[in-house]
Structure 1
């Protein structure tokens, strides 16, 4: 179907008011003509290759039933006499129930299901992980950890399904033996109002009948459990990972837990979080049983060789900041902080995403700021001159970048927000509402070598618990997760 902004809306209006009322042969010809026109006018956009896609109905046609055939009326008269007076035709017609006419060419859902099931070649799976995609990100890294644990540590036949129409470059990082399907493009072509994607995913899960299903950030998977949880639970346990709430521009909590957990908690066997703080908030706010939650910390990165020793003791006059440049990470506060600390050079790594262009330009103009863009490995951006890693988040769970910074022996300056206190002792944390002055004081304190080493010692003592072995043991302790 056409879904390109105003063109999509115009087409759907035309479809509902005129096209769907034409004879079938004319519908095909008209749709073919529309497709030829828009393809010529807007060649750079992705259009369906066949008018069949344009003829998939997005709304059921409802025609009011105002009369009954004679045979039906006679049957109802007799039923009213023999069974129930309410079955009299007069009673029935007084309510004027609508007749729902389903289009006979509504076949996209069936095609999507067939394509997905054929990709699996009758393979059987013990565990199915449902993710939106696999790209660079903390939740995506968590999905890789879970897939590896299921396949290698627990010996489970493991399938990962990406449910959004986006490339998954990190699929290549999945552990050997884990099967991956990019199903997002199949789901994207289905009807939202009629919940076709949820129906197809539910049927696929019921057909595969894995011992367990694990949802990791997939909105489609959450909606599917909300609609078909009872059917899915007949053969599969259902687990979900949740990390933290988000906040909208008005300060209201949003996110997966707020949206889905109240209506789906009764279908879940466990909710797995990477921190101890968020589950306490959900128990208090949403009334979900504490027994549902399990905290399992992700492992830190594999040990890297230490940085080569400098010929002389480096002058640590640089600050490292690395994350997404978006509203959650407070780029406007980062600008204020870097502006107020002109005697330090700031290396800022990260891709701009939903950031005010004026803030980005102001950062680029600061003489003590270097904007480096994206990076592949955290270890590659650490320099001997870096005094500290500074984290300016507004909300969070326990971000993986802090585990990377701690593993790289960088003192971390961060606020007491979300699950960060699971890694950093309270004595090292700034207040949740700390201002630029508090950050500056925390950074400058590290200029004293003794204070810096004491800070690192406290970090590293906590980091010792964030191992692969502890992660696997934590997942094994969740009833029903580690068995085949």
Structure 2
């Protein structure tokens, strides 16, 4: 990257980039020794079947070192011999190149019907066009076998393999038309990994005891869980760094953690002028891996970050993460069921990451037990925690709630407007209760369903999106309606309980971890409209029922959901030496 010079020395070393003793990004030792460097310089040929040019093309961090001119072929060879192959890295050969690599290179630029059918594998014969041949005729046969294409590219097996994968993943964005006029540009991501790592090192020169990898710190349950673990680490006297690995953004509710947050998308744009999602997934996972290595934590905690999961599921990156962190924790909450019925979720990564993870952490006993049984995890490698509510009510507030049950005609619903949360059923419930007012708050996140507001009954209105429970009209509601199809332990229920709002919800998944097994306002199924109507009617018509429900919610929170009780349970997960990197 122009205008950027590498750090000297490399974090964790005492040697500069020039001369002998350069340090490698996946280790913190001085290498090579003068004797080794002399031996490597005198070697006439590299290891059999090893080509350093293919090696640096294969991995973003190696690619960047080559693009910046920091390493010689001998040093790439030395890294492979001493570290790369032990990390699980490999070098592509001819067998890794798809037979149709240039077909993908070519047809990735086609956006018409023919290109679409070809990508479905429906056309048996390929077409050779004037884009490459320079004439107006068509030539039948596989483009992959055309010598003109090979001449225009002349790339290594690893480059050809990546081109084919790129063509499959991003149709319409192929580079073939450029090849008529110029060589294929190499490494658009060069100059990203190292400058971002330098920024992380500058922020945390002593590293961090605990590193938490989150998708972002916007509003969301996973983000809140990550924040609770950050507060827990601080309670234990440990230093903490929070890596935002998927999206930029910090909700105002998380501002107290601002000094611990490393917003990688924001940092990427500031340090390199590149957008985070413009980078390949491989580069983003490499950045996260380098950031963790620079921070050298005692505990690395992965919490619902797709980039984090992808890194941990990539063998050579997982080995480096494992070498950088003494302990690795992974959080999980519930499965995900798509509108089509597909059973999905981050649990699918477990077979790929289980050997690297010390403890899987859940927010409910139901999912904890399910995952233990499904994957044969021993009990000591799983734990379910009761996460706290942000602010517990005082005893005086509890007494006031019991003495003054809410009296109104308003039913409140607030959550994501996605398939999981089942917002459509609210309209059917409202249609059966025209004497009550229903108000819905939330926004679409996954865009896997669409609420038809025009078809909603007149006694239902949309209140808009919200970023904090404090923005919701909880004082105006006599009940909170929750209609999810599946869930962990929803934080929104804890927040409603803390405000004394009675809850009507299905008895599913992790909800009983909060409400208990015998909550009187459960419904048996998330789509059971008559059951919702009956529960809401009981609460609306009987002030004593509302009072008892409010008092019970508040009592549960005070008994089980304080930060102190969470800290007592969670502290056992932080088997660290307090202050090791805090000084």
2:301 to 214, 219, 230: 214
Aligned mates of 1:132, 1:202 — CA distance in 2:
15
Do residues 432 (structure 1) and 513 (structure 2) align? no
| Cα distance, 1:220–1:385 mapped onto 2, change above 3 Å | closer
| Distance in 1 (alpha carbons) for counterparts of 2:489 and 2:319 | 32
Relative distance call for 1:361 and 1:112 in structure 2 (3 A) is: farther
Residue in 2 that maps onto 1:49: none
8 Å contact from structure 1 (residues 349, 372) kept in 2: yes
Whole-angstrom distance in 1 between the partners of 2:448 and 2:285 = 33
State the Cα distance separating 1:11 from its structure 2 match.
Answer: 10
Aligned counterpart, 2:312: 225
Q: Which residue of 1 aligns with 2:565?
A: 470
Is residue 445–residue 451 contact of structure 1 (8 Å, CA) maintained in 2?
Answer: yes
Find the aligned partners of 1:144 and 1:219 in 2 and give their Cα distance: 17
Distance 2:429 2:577 in 1: 46
Cα 1:235–1:165 change in 2 (3 A) is: closer
Structure 1 residues 481, 369: CA separation in 2 closer, same or farther (over 3 Å shift)? Answer: farther
Matched positions, count: 396
Match status 1:480 vs 2:575:
yes
Distance 2:132 2:555 in 1: 68
* CA 470–18 in structure 1, closer or farther in 2 if over 3 Å, else same: farther
Q: Measure the CA separation in 2 of the matches of 1:131 and 1:362.
A: 38
Q: CA deviation at 1:196?
A: 2.9
Q: Partner of 1:319 in structure 2?
A: 411
Q: TM-score, normalised by structure 1?
A: 0.73
Match of 2:220 in 1: 137
Structure 1 residues 140 and 59: alpha-carbon distance in aligned structure 2, compared to 1, 3 A threshold: farther
Q: What's the secondary structure of 1:128's corresponding residue?
A: strand
Task: Answer whether contact 2:214 2:305 (CA < 8 A) is retained.
Answer: yes
Deviation at 1:249, TM superposition (A): 2.4
Deviates more, 1:403-412 or 1:315-324: 315-324
Per the normalisation by structure 2, the TM-score is: 0.61
Choose which of 336, 361, 373 in structure 2 pairs with 1:246: 336
Match of 1:234 in 2: 323
- 1:256 corresponds in structure 2 to 346
Q: How big is the shift at 1:104?
A: 9.0
Instruction: Indicate if the aligned counterparts of 2:201 and 2:294 stay in contact, CA closer than 8 A.
Output: no
Q: How far did residue 177 of structure 1 move? A: 4.4
Q: Which ranges of structure 1 fall in alignment gaps of 5 or more residues?
A: 1-8, 22-54, 64-101
Find the aligned partners of 2:308 and 2:410 in 1 and give their Cα distance.
Answer: 44
Distance 1:314 1:470, change over 3 A: closer
Task: Return closer, same or farther for 1:141/1:20 CA change in 2, 3 Å cut-off.
Answer: farther
Question: Does the CA contact (< 8 Å) of 1:198 and 1:223 recur in 2?
Answer: yes
Residue in 1 that maps onto 2:550? 456
- Contact 1:316–1:384, Cα closer than 8 Å, also in 2: no
Query: Shift in Å at residue 384 of structure 1?
Result: 4.3
- Residue 427 of structure 1 aligns to a residue in which SS? coil
Give 1:269's aligned residue: 358
How far apart are 1:288 and its partner, in Å?
2.6
Deviations 1:141-187 (A, max 9, x none): 22221112212x01222111111243334585243642433347745
Instruction: Quote the residue 2:288 is aligned against.
Output: 201
1:403 is displaced (CA, Å) by 0.4
2:222–2:303 CA contact under 8 A, matched in 1: yes
> What's the CA shift for 1:232?
2.1
Is the partner of 1:414 in helix, strand or coil?
Answer: strand
Alpha carbons 1:283, 1:289 under 8 Å: kept: yes
SS in structure 1 of the partner of residue 192 of structure 2: helix
Deviation at 1:114, TM superposition (A): 1.9
Deviations 1:42-81 (A, max 9, x none): xxxxxxxxxxxxx9x9994459xxxxxxxxxxxxxxxxxx
Contact preservation (8 Å) 2:392, 2:562 = no
Aligned match of 1:289: 378
Q: Is structure 2 residue 222 aligned with structure 1 residue 168?
A: no
- Secondary structure of the corresponding residue to residue 320 of structure 1: strand
Which of 422, 426, 430 is the matching residue for 1:330?
A: 422
The C-alpha deviation readout for 1:393-447, integer Å capped at 9, x for no partner, is 0010001100011011011000111111011122222213551000111111112
Structure 2: where are the runs of 5+ without partners? 1-104, 111-128, 134-152, 162-182, 269-275
The CA distance in 1 between the partners of 2:418 and 2:252, in whole Å, is 22
Per the alignment, residue 498 of structure 2 pairs with 407
Aligned residue for 2:248, secondary structure, equals: coil
SS in 2 for 1:130: strand
Q: Is the 8 A contact 2:478 2:501 kept in 1?
A: yes
1:173 counterpart SS class:
helix
